[in-house]
Structure 1
């Protein structure tokens, strides 16, 4: 399709003086709309303002769909924001009688509390206002989303969610690149409206510009900056640490990358860090695509937090620290419990050590016995604390005897090393996936960068917390008050996938990073596509056969192999998926694979999906035995709070895996479905 569009534009460029190839439509809602032949079966919809030499390609569709779209849409200029709008004028006219009839049966109207003047000041126009006056419920407003101009719809959503007119105005001003509406708006000037809508319209002067824009289609998607993100990433300077939160696909990572580029282009070295190695490698590759200037690129270092801690400790000690493996750690906890007759499970003691002692950097027995155990549900009396400390101390003795340390111990040591140094090592640090960092890792970052303007740029989403780390930034000397921002519009995932996936999270409140609860209120997508497909099977072989069939269908439809991601809960399931695909001649690679594996479908665990994006994603094994995974849950009788946290973390993991999909999501299970599933979708 890209090739056909390129050829059509090339043909058109040589004949624009006569307007050749553009066809006007009979009985169209908008006289400025034309269509153009793309190939044998497709047409493009073109907006041609009456004045000026600008032609805007709006969409490319199959012939009949293109004609229907072109006849029904009307383009306009928002009378307050000055941005380009599009509405389905035909659909609005068709739905108005039904809304009118329904309104006559209801005693109250949804926006009765607001006068016409207040609504007009939010950008609503004379065509939309009469329909708005007929609405009686939020469900009816949501049903109109695809028909109404987006700025006007968002203003109404803001009011319906409880915002004041002033708050709603500030919300829709976020659609503008600099959040500043123009002093005057000419509602007949479509070209100026396009220029004010850089998130929707890209101006190209010829085939070279177009070719460059389409050169890296999926990769470019991952680094494209939308207006609300540009405002955050491109600000000259902040007075201190900045926090940016938002749901999956809202562009937090791309905002962080552009912020790193902005700082690097000002001539300052920048450290970019995140939780996992896989994501760090992905960020590194995206920066290569984003930063053209070699000198600026050299100023940005990307490293995951464990490697950073390891390097600090290694440089200070002159030798490689030895890392304890998971199996070894579990065995030592079991021995420590046996030696001390502790009445606790290994999981409980490990969390007590990581979430209380290491989190607060407690120095010994007395500090532990007198501390406040924040975030721990089970209360311990003094005698129980003594027993817990005896077991933890014995574990630490056994671990020291092996000469190995855990990643969190190395992080704590790295933080102490940096804190003792005369001056911080860094001027700017950008942190991605901040919700997964442990307090000890935050202490590394706080000690590594000087307190001051632009010291920390922090992005994350507490609803995607897949590791049991909870933190208060303020308690660690990181203040983001007045510099916290939330992104609400998902640019990756369709509304159909998003609305379904959000229900996986349940209704329990989620703790943020700044001592407040985090909410997904207002989280939405303007993209539309197919609903997620959820299928159940009697056995694992049938599930794998259907998965292979689905992957083959995506490939046959032209989806690039590397743009397909498959996730399952356990490592054991990954091998079975790889074998099933290989048997059908479909090459696979790990989710952690480098960009060299372009001809391979990516396969891995749900944890490995963190921070990645795919055009099409499949999540398999979503059954009651795997989600939630029993091995990941604290016994409810031992610690009900920890049990609730574990359940929510499993929900978040499922949510993360499903929201990696941009266009299509396929979910399957064997036997009984996961209790997290919101129901069958088809």
Structure 2
């Protein structure tokens, strides 16, 4: 589906027509052409038009045919001749390898092997390789390897499960450990009892993350009508195992880097639990993320009764609605808060930002209601120690803000969450699913905890601490939410190419992220099976020239028949987004600011891009004055820990923006580049 979604619209229409004609023809085989000298005799091709051909796998058993790829004629023939399909004898799943490329590699490996007695996998018995699913035909080639780099060069040529097993063994793992590595990326935890090497259809059905089955022309039309949307709600094997698990004994957590399918997993979990009759709350941090969840859920759930049992609401709207049952809340915006914090800081040694963070991260987070409680509390996470006298000064200063808000009948959303939590007298849902959990504030977590009774399948928590772009640093254990033993880490990125990942991951720096379960979180093993072009980084003398470059790049994507809505433009500042959208419109390119439901190029701040994805992303304004943003950084001499956290948030923002791209990433800056950009 991802490859089909990338095809130009006119090519997709030709594919639809060819497949429909094939499906309607009584003697379907007449439309398929055999390939001479093909490594797999079951491979066929089908004519799409004068230029494009489809590659088809025609299993010998049954009447199922699988459309594998649509390519220009010569590329399709090359693909069809070189690929070989098989059934993994340990896992029972369908696999494909580039047989021609492996054969061409063999003489070079033989020459290298002649110069040494060492073999990378010489210590592994053939029977153990077979137990791990290594194809018997590949074992002689595998046994020639003398260096891990040679194995890594084979990654694109080998089936993924086999490569994972071989790499694990090469890195010193034993056979059981290698099996555990393979099982993490597949829908099976135990080997099937019997595997028929000739039954490709059964193998396809065991490979739900790779093959879409359709049972008739209407179902086929539905799938092909929304290729991009279908791909977004498509479960890959490890996601399927997590989302459709019959039950968890308590709160469960799913983490993983950008594009690993955490949100898709959350959506399917919501459908699964609602399908069993449960009342489900699906919540996230911002309104536009909640709207995106609503849209995807409408594609995924077509049963009105099941859909009716799932409520989608971002956590601020949830707080507002609960408090609104008792009185109409008044929300304080920046126009109210900023003057109050300025006044509060006058005459104290503390800045308005320091006081506001102390209030948010300590007082509201811990639900402290008196000066005595504040004087005795712990301040974990804050970088500047405060004595009792200093705490008294802080308490009085913060009290000035709280009193000012109360006088106007207003509150912040975090205050509202605390109030809502107090108003919840009994559980209102059977299951609560939280997406983008890393950005949820402690006060909001208390509310969510009270909305569902403790027990099996109560909380399903999805997030990535490497995408933390707000000030929330939560310990679930401190809230009585224990996910140990019920945590899954997704490592495969199905959205972004490896080339984009290789460029983007270093943006995060070297320090591990702090996970919600109090453990360090790294991106070890995070990778993509997809490959494409390297990101493009361009420098310009000034912003006008940079915007000219943006117009040129967007126009090039449009000329390549990328749909306007599949193009995103991300900036650090809202005012730059406005300027970029205006310039695109002046040049005749339809563009809208995020969030927008209108079809056109989507332009927005990096914060607004969270949770969205596009075929092509242009990240503009990546200069030293914008990333990091000086306004968003606490001075190091005021609070070194807050300073470090702020810098990391800025790194995360750039990482989030860059990993919205599926196929193409373009980054630009005027003047000097951001220090975050790779050298």
> What TM-score, normalized by structure 2, do the two folds share?
0.94
The whole-number CA distance in structure 2 between the counterparts of 1:392 and 1:161 is: 55
Counterpart of 2:8?
A: none
Aligned partner (choices 209, 212, 226) of residue 202 of structure 1: 212
Counterpart of 2:7?
A: none
Unaligned runs of 5+ in 2: 1-10
Counterpart of 1:80?
A: 90
User: Superposition pairs for residues 113-124 of structure 1, below 5 Å?
Assistant: 113-124=123-134
The whole-number CA distance in structure 2 between the counterparts of 1:14 and 1:393 is: 75
The whole-number CA distance in structure 1 between the counterparts of 2:136 and 2:450 is: 57
User: Superposition pairs for residues 103-502 of structure 1, below 5 Å?
Assistant: 109-160=119-170, 163-316=173-326, 318=327, 320-338=328-346, 341-418=347-424, 421=425, 423-502=426-505
Counterpart of 2:631?
A: 631
SS at match of 2:209: coil
Q: Closer, same or farther in 2 for the Cα pair 1:102/1:451, shift >3 Å?
A: same
The whole-number CA distance in structure 2 between the counterparts of 1:447 and 1:524 is: 37
The whole-number CA distance in structure 2 between the counterparts of 1:385 and 1:106 is: 70
Count of paired positions: 669
User: Superposition pairs for residues 525-536 of structure 1, below 5 Å?
Assistant: 525-536=528-539
Q: Closer, same or farther in 2 for the Cα pair 1:104/1:572, shift >3 Å?
A: farther
The whole-number CA distance in structure 1 between the counterparts of 2:531 and 2:54 is: 19
SS at match of 2:664: strand
Q: Closer, same or farther in 2 for the Cα pair 1:98/1:304, shift >3 Å?
A: same
Q: What's the CA shift for 1:95? A: 2.2
Counterpart of 1:670?
A: 670
For residues 474-519 of structure 1, give each alpha carbon's deviation from its aligned partner in whole angstroms, at most 9, with x where no partner exists: 1112121221111111111112212221121111110001111112
Identify which range, 359-368 or 160-169, moves more after superposition.
160-169
The whole-number CA distance in structure 1 between the counterparts of 2:152 and 2:288 is: 38
The whole-number CA distance in structure 1 between the counterparts of 2:21 and 2:49 is: 12
The whole-number CA distance in structure 2 between the counterparts of 1:637 and 1:118 is: 58
Identify which range, 233-242 or 154-163, moves more after superposition.
154-163
The whole-number CA distance in structure 2 between the counterparts of 1:14 and 1:332 is: 71
Q: Closer, same or farther in 2 for the Cα pair 1:43/1:408, shift >3 Å?
A: same
The whole-number CA distance in structure 1 between the counterparts of 2:309 and 2:14 is: 40
The whole-number CA distance in structure 2 between the counterparts of 1:16 and 1:193 is: 26
The whole-number CA distance in structure 1 between the counterparts of 2:496 and 2:623 is: 23
RMSD, aligned α-carbons: 2.0
The whole-number CA distance in structure 1 between the counterparts of 2:376 and 2:48 is: 74
Q: Contact 1:81/1:173 (CA < 8 Å) preserved in 2?
A: no
1:576 aligns with 2:579: yes
The whole-number CA distance in structure 2 between the counterparts of 1:194 and 1:556 is: 37
Q: Closer, same or farther in 2 for the Cα pair 1:134/1:639, shift >3 Å?
A: farther
Q: What's the CA shift for 1:162? A: 5.9
SS at match of 1:623: coil
Q: Closer, same or farther in 2 for the Cα pair 1:163/1:348, shift >3 Å?
A: farther
For residues 145-202 of structure 1, give each alpha carbon's deviation from its aligned partner in whole angstroms, at most 9, with x where no partner exists: 1111111012223445665432331332344434342112222332322222121122
Q: Closer, same or farther in 2 for the Cα pair 1:541/1:190, shift >3 Å?
A: same
The whole-number CA distance in structure 2 between the counterparts of 1:206 and 1:397 is: 66
For residues 294-313 of structure 1, give each alpha carbon's deviation from its aligned partner in whole angstroms, at most 9, with x where no partner exists: 12211111111111111222
The whole-number CA distance in structure 1 between the counterparts of 2:322 and 2:172 is: 49
Q: Contact 1:414/1:444 (CA < 8 Å) preserved in 2?
A: yes
Q: What's the CA shift for 1:663? A: 1.7
Counterpart of 1:548?
A: 551
Q: Contact 2:572/2:621 (CA < 8 Å) preserved in 1?
A: yes
Aligned partner (choices 512, 516, 521) of residue 513 of structure 1: 516
Q: Closer, same or farther in 2 for the Cα pair 1:103/1:635, shift >3 Å?
A: farther
Q: What's the CA shift for 1:388? A: 2.6
Q: What's the CA shift for 1:113? A: 4.8
